[in-house]
Amino acid sequence: MSDQTFSLERVDTPTGAMLIITDDEQRLRALDWEDHEPRMMKLLRRYYGANAVRLCEASRPSAVSRSLAAYFDGDFEAVTNLPIATNGSDFQRTVWDALRRIPAGHSISYGTLAARIGRPTAARAVGLANGANPIAIVVPCHRVIGADASLTGYGGGLDRKRWLLAHESASAAAG
């Protein structure tokens, strides 16, 4: 893959500082917490190549940062239609697309998500794709839980997953 330059933006959120990576068309390429930057960089290398991405500091706030702020203020629709660009496998992109169709305030199991994409026996593969999601919150992998309704792994940590689910449930119930 050819070299690409992406913009890097740092924003404060109620769950900690986040890193936003966008391309020159303002498509979201990656979104993760600052304390998980090594994971985000590993995913960028995996999807774009070892030395294929250069990051430069954003010169002004992006539409993504404004939408993210609105999300944390309780407007979950603000991130729903943000343009994204991911370089995962076809299967991963299918899973990530299905994640974007889970409404805020709802959660489903890995098995249910696998069935929704027409692969009912692929719950484990869905879990792996979920874990390789480079775009937290906007591609809401935090809405996937265990079959027994337990909170299972989350790239941002289980405390953040718990917080995001409670935030969405409380705001959805109040709205």
User: Under CATH, to which class is 90-174 assigned?
Assistant: mainly alpha
Which has the closest alpha carbon to 107: 82, 154, 141?
A: 141
How high is the pLDDT of residue 153? 78
Q: pLDDT tens for residues 47-74?
A: 888 788 888 898 888 999 999 999 999 9
Q: Is the dihedral of CA 128, 71, 147, 155 positive or negative?
A: positive
Where exactly are the structural domains of the chain? 4-79, 90-174
Task: Kindly give, in sequence order, each residue whose CB lies less than 8 Å from that of residue 109, ignoring residues fewer than 6 positions away.
Answer: 123, 144, 145, 146, 147, 149
How high is the pLDDT of residue 48? 84
On whether the pTM is more than 0.85, the answer is yes
How high is the pLDDT of residue 173? 58
How high is the pLDDT of residue 86? 87
Q: What would the CATH number be for the domain defined by 4-79?
A: 3.30.160
How high is the pLDDT of residue 94? 96
In the residue annotation, 56 being an active-site residue is answered as no
How high is the pLDDT of residue 1? 47
Backbone angles phi, psi at 6, to 5 degrees: -115, 155
Task: Kindly give, in sequence order, each residue whose CB lies less than 8 Å from that of residue 38, ignoring residues fewer than 6 positions away.
Answer: none
Could you say which of 141, 145, 164, 165 is catalytic? 141
Task: Show the tokens assigned to 158.
Answer: 């289980």
Tens of pLDDT along the chain (175 residues) come to: 458 889 999 999 999 999 999 998 999 999 999 999 998 888 888 888 878 888 889 888 899 999 999 999 999 999 999 999 988 899 999 999 999 999 999 999 999 999 999 999 999 999 999 989 999 999 999 999 988 888 887 878 889 999 999 999 986 555 5
How high is the pLDDT of residue 52? 80
% of the chain at pLDDT higher than 90:
69
